Structure formats: structure tokens, C-alpha cells
Chain A
Amino acid sequence: MERQLVARAQQGEREAFDLLAYELVDRLYSIAYRILRNGPSAEDATQQALIDVWRHLPSLRDPDKFDAWTYRLLVHAAYAEYRHRRRQAPPGAMTDGATDTDPYPSVHDRDQLERGFARLTAEHRAVLVLQHYLDMTHDEMAEVLGIPVGTVRSRLHGARGAMRAALEADARPAVKEWPA
């Protein structure tokens, strides 16, 4: 079904793209939110990624790679949004943080994880989200990000190290900064 919609949207059929967009929007927003940790930013990145999907669909060579291609557009949009907000946001601007309704991880762990995540670059955030939210393999992540597998591994290593360090730091009030 999705492949047919992709093929039709590639030919410029807007109704097919509308259906595709409705199928994609929640998934893309969920990923964007986890990279950016900010609702309005995630909305902007998702919207930009979907418009990019529409604009560049004719140049997609292999429709079977539509998902990976779309993720890549989203990650690029998230990178751009991250840098845009970083330039504009005043010091101390709040991230949304996670909801308080889930008992696990603990509030303390969540604060520490948020703190560590806020310090990561957009590139390091992306690899963590692709691995821990989308359960991608290193090879899949390399394809989506357009980087060598070795670079994926090195980024994951750095990102995990930073998160672990934040988690194991002494309990302190979380610093909510955009993005540190």
C-alpha cells in the first residue's frame, strides 16, 4: 500500500501524498520529539521533513528505500531545527522534558538522562534515538545517516558515555537548557 502511494506521489499526485503524510506524521513526530526534546521544534522538523518528502520524491531512486530516505530527511530537518533553536533560544530555555506519568525510569533518572541528553550534539542525539527508539542496527543507522558504520559506532560510544556519566552524577536539580 505504502509503495503504491509512494509511486503515485512521485508522479505528482497530491492526494496520494496526503495519505502518505497522514501515515507518516505520527511516526516522524515521535522521532523528532525524541531528538529535539521540545514539542514546537519537533512539529517544525516534522513539517519540514514532510514537505521535503513531497518536493524530492521524484528524485528517490528506489521506492523500497522510502522509509530510510524519509528518516534521513527527518534527521536532517531535526539537525537544522536544533541549530536554529540553539542560535535563537535564550540561555536557560526549557525543554519539554518527559511526562511524569510513567513510574519507570525514576524521576531522578529521567532528570539525569534529560540533563545528559541536553548536552549532546544533534548528531549524537540522533544515533541514540535510532538505536533505542527505533531499534535500528548499526548498518541501518549508517544508511539512514549516510555515514560509515564506524562513525555510527564512535558516535554511539560517545553518546552513551555522556549519558552514563550524567546518570551516575550526583543527584542535583536538573538543568533544563535548550540544547546545551
Chain B
Amino acid sequence: MNDRDFDQLLDAWMDLGPTVAPARVAEAVRLEARSTRQTASLRGWPPRRFPEMNTTVRLALAAAAVVAAAVLGYTYLAGPRVGDATIPQPSSQPGASIRADLPLLTEQDGSLDPGTYAVTEIEPMRLAITVPRGWSRNVAPDTVWTEDSTVTIWFGRVDELNTDPCAASTEMTALSGPTVDDFADALAALSSLDAQVSSISVSGYPGAAVELSVADPVDGWCEGAGSLWEIEDVGGGTVDMGLPGPFGTMRVTIVDVNDDRIVIAATVRGAATMADTAGLREVLDSLEIGAP
């Protein structure tokens, strides 16, 4: 069978099947839309500024973050808990120098060769990560995973949060403001989750790391929506950033890059192996943020 015949066969096969939806679908949509609020447009956000923070304060905070990062990094590396991830290594200069010839993560699909990749998912930022063997890239949503999907890392921005992720509703609430603390505080206030917040620095940029775990994984685990926030892709589609699940953890790294809040969210499911979490440490340790 030549290509033309094969194409015609696929065309004909695709034409088979229903072309009319059962009436109940439209009716169900109409009813559900009645009880579903539209999300607010994000276009109206004010410029992200920290008018109260002068250079001296910033330098002091950065220095404090370096100390905190070192202490916490030791804690995470030495700790036996499954799902822990080390915080990214601090850098003395704001903005890393990222090689221009690195392969783009966006151009990968499926299994990744071990090595360093440029991450351009957070436009116009340029980040770099180094992945060990056994990781792959998923394109919908844009994430990197271990092969068994127990550890996932997503890069992006978050402006809305489901403040009650265990509720049946998936309604999102706009964060109170654009700072790192605004997001970290909102995560720490989530019901049903324990949160540990620490100051960090990535490539010299100040930020916070929030470690989330289910407060009571046996009786308190929710079977509800479990969606923390929505991931918006380039074309406008959305998928949910879910909770890590019972006995899992989530490491949310929030960084202020010249008043732009970026988020690197690592989800570690309860089934993750020590090798998986070691891989996550490697990836997060390697994280660099280039100067815009």
C-alpha cells in the first residue's frame, strides 16, 4: 500500500463514527456553566514592583537567603524523608550565564538524554536544568517527569490558587498580590496541607521554597478535585496542577526575577523511589536562572 492509499484509508476510517453529540452533553454543559464562575482575566495586573525595598534591603535579604539556603540544603540532603528535595544552589551573581547552544527543552518529546537543557517555558526567561538518566519530557502539560511519573517538575507563573483544594469546587481565587510572599503565604494557608516555608536564592535571585505535604494522609486525604492551580499553555488551554497525593510532597520554588514571580513546582508522589528523589535533587540543584 503506497502512502496515498494509506492516507485515503485513514481519512475514510476517521470519517466513520458519530458526528452528533448526545443531547445530554449540551444540556449538562448549560447546567454546569450556570454554577461555574468565569476566571478573571490576568491582563489587568499592575506592574510588579517592590517600592518599599531598596538596594540595601535587597542585598541583606539575598545574604540572609544564602545562609538560609545553605542550612536548609544541608537539612534536605541529610534528611531521610522520601520526597525531600534540595533547594537550588545559590549563586553570588544575580542571573546565571546560560549557554546559548543548549538544547531547548521545548523541542524534546519523550525520553530525555541525560544532560543540560535550556528551559524557555517561562517567557521571556531562560533557565537551565540538568537531568539524569531516566527522565522524560511531557508536552501536555509542559513538564519533565521521571519515567514512572512519580516525580514531576513544572515551570511557570501562578496568579490564581484553589484555596480549598480538597473541596469539590475547582474555583480559583486570585492571589492577593504579585510578590513571592503573597504566593508563599497563600500556599502555607491551604487547608488540609502542612507547609514549611523557607527563604532561598536561585542564581542570586531571592525567593521562597514551600514544602507541602498532606497533613493527615490516612484519614485527611481528600478525594475531591485536588487541584491547586491551573496551568495555562501557550495556546490558552488549561490543565490542573494537582495535589501530590497521600504520602507525597510538593516542593514549590518561587523566585523573584526582577519583580517577575516565577514558579518551579516539583511534585513527588508517595510511590517515588529513592532514585527518583535523588534525581529530583540533581535537577533542582542544577537549576539556573539566566539574566533576563
Interface, chain A (partner B; CB < 8 A): 12, 14, 17-18, 21-22, 25-26, 28-30, 33-34, 39, 43, 46-47, 50-52, 54-61, 65, 68-69, 72-73, 75-76, 79-80, 98-99, 102, 104-105, 109-110, 113, 123, 128-129, 132-133, 143-148, 150-151, 154-155, 160, 163-164, 167-168
Contact = CB atoms under 8 A, between A and B. Distances in A.
Contact of B19 (A30, A46, A160): A30
B10 A39 contact: no
User: How big is the B interface, by class?
Assistant: 35 or more
Contacts of B28: 47
A72 B234 CA distance: 10
A29 B29 CA distance: 13
B22 A151 contact: no
A80 B226 CA distance: 14
Contacts of A43: 21-22, 24-25
* Majority secondary structure of chain A interface residues (helix, strand, loop or mixed): helix
A148 B237 CA distance: 16
Given A52-B238, A59-B236, 20 more contacts: A12-B38, A22-B26, A50-B29, A50-B33, A51-B36, A52-B237, A54-B33, A69-B235, A72-B233, A75-B237, A79-B239, A102-B15, A102-B16, A105-B9, A132-B14, A143-B235, A144-B235, A146-B142, A151-B139, A164-B1
A76 B41 contact: no
A167 B41 CA distance: 48
A163 B12 CA distance: 14
A54 B139 contact: no
Contact of A110 (B16, B30, B33): B16
A127 to B, nearest CB: 11
Contacts of B113: none
Contact of B33 (A17, A128, A143): A17
